Every structure is written in structure tokens, then in C-alpha cells.
Structure 1
């Protein structure tokens, strides 16, 4: 073959950069904002709406007043700065009452206790949320709920210790008596016996130990809780407790055992069929009638119980959807390996079902955290209730937007964080079809 012909290339041309319109930000803008005449019009209209909103909100927000002792003083400062009566935000109400919005009426000298409880909770939940964290912290995970309760409410140290003993009793029954009594009976006893222990024995034992060895810190009643501390305590406790309970209810609803199946179905349908606000009123007014006369739960603990039961019913349906989405071959594969029911659920079925259910579970958790604002209707001072109390003060009567923007921003931070973690976990586990 003759390589001297004029149409035969003897050397490669140097690579050239793509045109400006085919790379970088220009390419992204052309493909995503101006890909067609309709998208171009929508982009221009959207930019104008964003400009109009920012032009009206930014001066009110950025030019706000942070140092004042009352709304009238805010207006005096505003009038001295803006002669034309320009409206600006009075952020001084946040500067003056931020501690109340966050901690309610908790004693200011003891703010370190809820802060320390939050730090302990963050360290305790880290090994559950992230697999790169040392598994040794799981010991702190087991201790954290009781330590956080003691730090928040105070009192004798024996209360949390005696309560923790109930879980030890349930674990001992499940592990020691399981091979003898059978898995099902041992599981039922591991639930019933600790409940009876907490109802009838934990209180007297804790009282006796407290009298003999009075070790503890200052006790804080539940009516001093408020603000975002109250929302976090109710929301986090409901989230942590409702997930395992919801999984058990989902398994119970799919069980072949008639009594377990029907009890799970009735519980789920009854709880889901009634609004949360009704259950909160039930917790506030009626729950004590169903308990022994000597047993008393304060209002906040009753609300936590009811919120947990309400959330668990929704979690159960989300998890049941994940279980139903698995092919029948997964169950048959577990049977072919000779695994019993609990082994197959733990090792094969539930990991896959929970991966599928991640978006629904996190959505339920976000909804639960936002629904904590409903406790204002039964007399608990959540952030919304405290905003009403602050506005009832003559000094800040007439302040609205500043308080609600601050409250909404705090809720957004919590909910957005849960949403981003959910998306990260889905990517990590490769959930979904490709």
C-alpha cells in the first residue's frame, strides 16, 4: 500500500478543546435552562419571580434590628434609621428569647444537662448510622437512653438503673429460656415479664434504693420542658422506639398465627384510623384510667407513649410494603438453607425489605417530628406554644413573622438533615432499580 498518497494521514492531529458551548457552565445552562423556547421562557419568568421575592424580603431581613428590649424600642430604632417608615424585621425578639425557644422553662443554670444529653445521644447513634464508626461505641448506645433520661429529668440515679434491669431480664429470658420454651413463647415472655416488672416492681425497688443510697441530681419536672428541647425529646424518643415496634407489627401482620395476625391488624387499623390529635387528647385525659391506681405517668411521658404507638402503626405499613416487594424466591431461598423464621428474617428478608423501605420510613420520621407541634393543644409548650407565650408579653406583643421564621428554620434544619441522610444511605446501599 502506498503511504505517500496525498489523502493518507501520516501523523495524528493534536487533540483540541471542545467549543465553549459544549463544556462547563455554558453547556449546563444551555442544556438545563435554555434547551427549548418553552424552557427559556420559564427560566426567564422564574428568574424574575426570584428577583422580585428577594428584592422585597432581603431588605426586611438583612436590615433587621437585633438589639432592643421590646417591639416599641425596635420601632423607635427603625424610625431613627429609616425616616420613611421602612419596615424591617425585629430580630431582637430572637436575641432576647432564644433560650426560651430552645429550652422552654428549664433552669438556665442547668442548660448543660440537655446539651450533654444531646451530645451523648449523637455519639450513641453514630455507630448505628455510620458503619465507619467504631463498634465499641455500641456500649454507649445501650447506656445512652438511661443516661439521657437521668440528665434531663434528674432525681435519683437508681430510677434509670432499675428501668434498665427490665431489659436485662427480657434478654435473659430470650437467650436462656429460648431453647427450652421455644422461640415464640420465649419472645412473648421476654416482652410480658419486663412490662409487669416496670409496672409493679420498678417503682418500689427504685424508691427503696433511693432511700437507702440517695445518689442523684436536682429533679426537674416535665412542666419545665419546652421549646425545641421538648420537640426533640418527644420526636427522637418516638422515632427510636417506633421503628422496632413497627417492624414487629409488620411481621405480626404477615404471620400465619391467627391471634398474632389479627391483633396486629386491629392495632394498626385502629391507630391509623384516628387522627393523632385525638390520641394526644386520649393520652392527656384518659390514659391514666387504664393504669393501676398506684401507677402515675406525667403528661409528657403519656404523650411519648401515644406518639410512639401512632408512629409504629405507620412504620408497620411501610415495612410491610417492603416485605411484600420481595420476590417469593427470597423466602424459599432462606428455607432451602435450613434457616428458621427469625434467622431468615434477620439475615435475608429484613435487610432487603428495610433497604426498599428507607424513603417511606424516613418520611414517616420527618412527619412525626413535625407533628410534635400538636402537643400545644394539650398544654405542652412546644416552640409554637412558646411563641404564643412570648407574644402574650406586653414587650413583644405584635411580633409574628420573626418568631415563626426562626421556628420554621429550626424545623427545616432537622428535617432536611434526616432527608439528606436518607438519600446518602440509599446511594450507599444502592437501593432501587437501575
Structure 2
């Protein structure tokens, strides 16, 4: 079974499509922008991880060599966190140069201080049990360290500080054998999580390009949106034209059907119902009268000596009489009354009245016709038969009884009303 959708309001249909298209483009833009921001976050995370990997590589290098010695300078004083009891913490070369021992922690501290001077990506080591006050964790560090001790291998989060966005990423710093030189008194054992390395990555380093990328995305989507709307408008114009043509064709078809219906149900001469339509309505009204138990009466009437009018004055005059009677009778009926030309000079009226009221209506019509000034200049009268529907009746019995009453009126002298029950 084929389904065809009939569009009656192309403007509304096109508006809904335009809203739908706008929503699709907006969602696409939103998804793309979110995807780009996720990509930026992924890049920042990878950079932070690379920094920590680099730090761990430096620490491993230092550890592999058992620490290194560098000259003592104002910028590189001896490591005060190492007890003086540590063998060969400070040594003097044969030439008199004083060297101090740099362990992994001291080396990374100096690297981090250099990085902070650049004021870009910064790193620091922190611990829940720091030796140095400078390594005391802040609120975020504390939460991250607790998460690491709970088994997490990495903790990261976007935070806002002083109106700027930063990615903070921390990885655990496990206690190695070389660490116990300073940290054994804190109760650490080799393999424990002694703290964490935190990288603070300014998101503005990458986000400066977001606006340019967002402008490109918005421009591209705006172009797609306008292109889609242009297509929808062109479709709307075509659809509107087809709808106008279809509506016009339907209106013409409806008019043609109405005209055909009128021809099929209306008497062409008088403009009232013809016999075919009357018999169709008669069945409906009889059934309704039975259902509602209300009186229904039938009036048959015939033009007296109509053949004489046609023979002496001509058929055009006869047609004029028929038209004038149709008009005179119609003026005296209610909207619910059914009036039809039954054939030739015979007319019929179906009215929701009892027989007594129907006879009064027939008398009113008879008198009006008798006193009407016809265009032919002759007096015209009619004979009437009236009957009321009785529930045992068939439709044929109902019609025949009114017809017989009319012929009885003709036999009794014409211009009379005969009532039969």
C-alpha cells in the first residue's frame, strides 16, 4: 500500500524544514566545537605527560650515575636537605674547586625553578609528608595525592586560577633506594608512594588558536546553513507553485462535481429536486421518522388542465407555469421540507408534520397558486392529495396513498385537497 503525503500548507512545511535544518547545523557546530576542545585538552594532557616522562628520565639518569657533582656557586649552594654526615657531600678538586653532591631530588628542584622563571609550563614535587616546607601540597595537590594512594595511576583536572585556565596533572613518585638516604626517617620503604610530580599547563598556550578555529567552523557551518536554506527556499517556491496548481485543479474538480451533482439531483427547469433525488431522500427521512417516532406527511399535487396549456399556448408557456409554481411553493416551505418535481406537471412535498398540519400547508399553497398572477395571463389551479406515514407502511404504500388522494381530488372537481390515512 502506497502512502502519499498531501501538503496543504507549503509555508508551514518549509518553515518546519528550515527549523530542522538550522537545528542540525547548530548541533553539528556544537559537536565540532566540543570535539575541537576535547582535542585541545588531549594535546595538553599529552604534553603534561611528556614533561613528567622527561623528568623521570632525568631522575633515572641521575640515579643511574649515583648522583653527580657540580661546582658550588651562589645559584648552586650545597643541598641543605642532605645531612653533613653524608659521605662526600662536598668535595674539593686538586685545583681547589669546591663541588657539591646533586642527588635526583635536588637536580629536579633546580630544573623546576628554571622552568618557573619562564612562567609557562611549571612543575613541582609535593608530598603529604614533605621534608621541605616548599613541597607542602595545596588543596588540589592533597586531593590528587590521596587519589594516587588509593590506586589511581594519574590524576588530572582543568582548574581556574586568577581568571586563567590550567590543566593540572599529577603522577605518583615512588620511593627508590636512593631516596631512602633522606627519607628513611619518615618511615618510607622502597616502592611506597612518597609523593607526586605535578605539571601545571596554561591552557591559553593552546586556546589562543581556538577562536580562529571556531571562526572557521562557524563560517563553514554558516555557509552550509545558507546553502541549505537556499535549497529549501527553492523547494518551497516549487512546492508552493505545485500546491497552488493542485488547489486550483481540486477547486475546479469540486465545482465540476458539484455541477454534475446538481445536474443529477436538480430539475433543470424549476431548480428544485428531481424525482431521483426525492426518492433517495424519502428513504432517509422515513427511516429517521421511524427512529425518532415523529410525524411525517406527504403532499402530492398536480397542475389542473396542464395539457391544455401546452396545447393552446405552447410548451414555453407551460414551462413558465412550472417555473412560477416552483417559486411560489418554495417561498412557503421551511428549510426542512423537501420539495421536488415528481414528473411532468406533478410535484411532491415531504414535510415533518401530522396530516392535519400538512393539509393546512397544502391549503395555503393551493390558495397561493389560485390567486397568483401567472405570466401567461391565465388562471392556474392544482389538485392536492395529502397523507401521513403510518409505521406499518412501506414506502411504496406511503407514496401510492398520496398519489391516489391527488387523483381523487381531480375526479372530485379539481382545485381541491383530499386527505387519506
Greater relative contact order (Cα < 8 A, sep 6+): 1
Richer in helix (by share): 1
Same fold (TM over 0.5): no
Report the TM range for the smaller structure's normalisation: under 0.3
Richer in strand (by share): 2
TM-score, normalised on structure 2? 0.20
